Every structure is written in structure tokens, then in C-alpha cells.
Amino acid sequence: MRFAHVTVPGNPHPILAFVQDGQAHPVRDIVPDGPTRLQDLIAGGDRLLDRVRDAADTAADGVPLDDVRFASAILDPPVVLAVGLNYAAHASELSLKADTAPTVFTLWPNSLSGHEATTAWPRSLSESIDYEAELGVVIGRDAKDVAPADALDHVWGYTVVNDITARDIQFSEAQWSRCKSFDGFTPTGPFVVTADEIPDPQDLHIWTVVDGHRVQDASTGQMIRPVSALVSHLSTAATLLPGTLISTGSPGGAGYSREPQIFLRDRSTVTVAVDGIGELTTHCRILD
């Protein structure tokens, strides 16, 4: 199934909806006392998800997707963990080493935004703003010391992430959280697709278009460490709680490494996508 947080006409607050046939169906409309946040649906386990599946089979017409606004696909995760340098081409183009262990950092919750949202930043803060298409992984149940062979059993679903980055700040500071956590710098969505819809997360086409030009085009099969290895590795240090979002790294083609460089400009439009999951568009504004 596909889920999204949307605002519908007459209600300014984001609510959880399942999406099918071009329509959004608020979950609470079909399941009495149903969840209004993805986090609550995940916490309800398989039993609650099965109730939603059963109700969806007989759901009346929903709201056309053209009439809704998307919030972040993940609204209140316990934490957002990001993995850097997980594609050899991207590590090489940034002249950084993909070391023996994954590069891991956190993204701040203020950075989360939704499909078709506008992300704005002051020109005085950075003019080297880059895009990064990434596969997002949503944890479904506690994961602690999980073996790679069992790791995907702990995944609830998948989404699309644009890990927007201020490159000048990234290369001037020892840690990467701030350069990637400006307000609106972590768009997610539009949808979270349940894990049963993605039989192999290492067999997905991932790509980016900036202002009409395709600038990233790769496969998740090119990850240095697959999703199973990442979940396993992260679970050795701390329990991964339900609803945790893991952004799994970006393929090659970053604007920083191009000749000439391509950075997001005032009024740029960037779409990052993973086939089978969705296309995530962000509009950019630079504030003078």
C-alpha cells in the first residue's frame, strides 16, 4: 500500500491517507478511531495495517491527488539517520573515502518537508546548495543487533528523500548535520510504500532532474552497502525504533562535482525519484 500525509480541503492539518487510483483516502474515514499519523499506524503493527487493508478494499471515493497538499511522508520519526558515501561514484566525485564503516549522521526534524513544497534559504548563508536523490527506509519494529539476513524483516516501508546539502558548509565543518539540516532541506515522499511492494530494495532505478535536466541516473544496486547491511550495522550501536527513517546515500552526479558546477538557484525546481515509490519535487527560493 501507499501512504501519505496530506492536507485536504477544509482541514489545514496533515492527516494520514492511503493512496490508490489517483485518490487520497484519509485512514480515519475508513477505520473508526484509525491513525492520523504514519507513526501511529506503524506502532499498531501488522494487525492495524491489516485492518486498513481490509477497509481499503471497500472504500468510497477519496480526494483527487490534485486537490491535496503533501506534508512530509514522515512527520515525527524518532530520529532521521543519514548515510554518506554509500555509492562509489559519489564518494569519488567528492574526493572522499568510503571507509570500512558507513559514514552516519543525523538530520534535524525542522528539515523535513513534503512534495511540491518550497525550500528557501538566505543567500548570505550559502550559495552552494546541492541535491542528492536517496532511497529512504522506514523501520517497522525494534531492531537491535540484527543480522543482515534478517534486517529487511524490520523494514516497514520505503520512501524518497532529497538530501539537500550546503556544500561549502559541509567542507568547512567536521560534521555534516548542520549543512544538511537547514529548514526544508530534507524533503520526503510523496509516499511511503509498504515493504511488501518492494521485493528487492537493491533493484530500483533512482534519478534526479534539475530545471529540466537529468543529472543523476543510477540503480540502488550500486550501493556499497545494501539496505540490509545498513540496518544491521546501525542496530549494533542502538535500538532502531519503529518509525526511524534511514536515508541510504546518493549516487553519483552531484552538482558540486560537475563542470561547470550545478547548484540549486532561486526558482530552481528539483525532482528526485525512485521508480516504484514516487517522484518528489521541491521548489527553491533564495532570500536576499
Over residues 92-102, the mean pLDDT reads: 72
Q: Report the CATH number at residue 230.
A: 3.90.850.10
**In terms of domains, do 127 and 229 share one?**
yes
Does 267 score more than 80 pLDDT?
yes
**In terms of domains, do 92 and 65 share one?**
no
Residue 239 lies in a domain: yes
**In terms of domains, do 266 and 165 share one?**
yes
46, 70, 94: which is the final residue of a domain?
70
Q: Looking at residue 178, what is its pLDDT?
A: 96
* pLDDT band of 98, cuts 50, 70, 90: low
Strand duo 213-219 + 186-187: pairing? unpaired
Residue 49 lies in a domain: yes
Asked whether the beta carbons of 24 and 1 are under 8 A apart, the reply is no
Q: Looking at residue 188, what is its pLDDT?
A: 98
Q: Pick from 195, 215, 207: which is nearest to 255 by CA?
A: 215
Tally of structural domains, the chain: 2
**In terms of domains, do 202 and 241 share one?**
yes
Residue 248 lies in a domain: yes
Does 95 score more than 70 pLDDT?
no
- Which residue in the block uniquely carries the three cell numbers 546548495? 129
Least confident of 103-112, 226-235, 252-261: 252-261
Share of the chain above pLDDT 90, in %: 88
**In terms of domains, do 92 and 60 share one?**
no
Residue 63 lies in a domain: yes
Over residues 83-96, the mean pLDDT reads: 78
**In terms of domains, do 66 and 97 share one?**
no
* pLDDT band of 184, cuts 50, 70, 90: very high
Over residues 81-110, the mean pLDDT reads: 83
**In terms of domains, do 143 and 242 share one?**
yes
Q: Looking at residue 236, what is its pLDDT?
A: 96
- Could you please report the per-residue DSSP string of 168-183? HHHTTSS-STGGG-ST
Q: Can you tell me the distance from the alpha carbon of 1 to that of 20, in angstroms, rounded to the nearest whole number?
A: 8
Q: Looking at residue 243, what is its pLDDT?
A: 98
* pLDDT band of 254, cuts 50, 70, 90: very high
**In terms of domains, do 146 and 180 share one?**
yes
Q: Can you tell me the distance from the alpha carbon of 86 to that of 218, in angstroms, rounded to the nearest whole number?
A: 13
Q: Looking at residue 130, what is its pLDDT?
A: 97
Q: Where would I find the H helices in the chain?
A: 27-30, 38-43, 45-56, 88-93, 148-151, 167-170, 227-237
For residue range 127-148, list pLDDT tens digits in order. Answer: 999 999 999 999 999 999 999 9
Asked whether the beta carbons of 165 and 179 are under 8 A apart, the reply is yes
Contacts of 15 (CB under 8 A, 6+ apart): 5, 6, 7, 8, 26, 27, 28, 36
Q: Looking at residue 253, what is its pLDDT?
A: 93
Quote the mean pLDDT of the chain: 94
Residue 155 lies in a domain: yes
**In terms of domains, do 16 and 120 share one?**
no
Residue 130 lies in a domain: yes
In this structure, what is the dihedral angle of CA atoms 285, 109, 274, 150, given to the nearest 10 degrees? Answer: 170
Question: How many whole angstroms from its chain centre is CA 25?
Answer: 21
Does 92 score more than 80 pLDDT?
no
For residue range 16-66, list pLDDT tens digits in order. Answer: 999 999 999 999 999 988 999 999 999 999 999 999 999 998 888 899 999
Asked whether the beta carbons of 188 and 75 are under 8 A apart, the reply is no
Domain of 233?
80-287
Q: Pick from 198, 201, 183, 210: which is nearest to 109 by CA?
A: 183
- Which residue in the block uniquely carries the three cell numbers 534511514? 246
Q: Looking at residue 57, what is its pLDDT?
A: 87
**In terms of domains, do 66 and 107 share one?**
no
Q: Can you tell me the distance from the alpha carbon of 84 to that of 176, in angstroms, rounded to the nearest whole number?
A: 9
Does 11 score more than 90 pLDDT?
no
Provide φ and ψ at 46, rounded to 5°. Answer: -65, -35
* pLDDT band of 101, cuts 50, 70, 90: confident
* pLDDT band of 85, cuts 50, 70, 90: confident
Does 111 score more than 70 pLDDT?
yes
43, 70, 97: which is the final residue of a domain?
70
Q: Would you say the C-alpha torsion 272, 108, 251, 262 has a positive or negative sign?
A: positive
Cell representation of residue 79: 530520529
Residue 75 lies in a domain: no
**In terms of domains, do 8 and 98 share one?**
no
Provide φ and ψ at 19, rounded to 5°. Answer: -120, 125
pTM above 0.85, yes or no: yes
**In terms of domains, do 66 and 47 share one?**
yes
Residue 175 lies in a domain: yes
31, 50, 70: which is the final residue of a domain?
70
For 70-87, letters b (16+ CB in 10 Å) and e give bbbbbbebeebbbbbbbb
For residue range 148-168, list pLDDT tens digits in order. Answer: 999 999 999 999 999 999 999
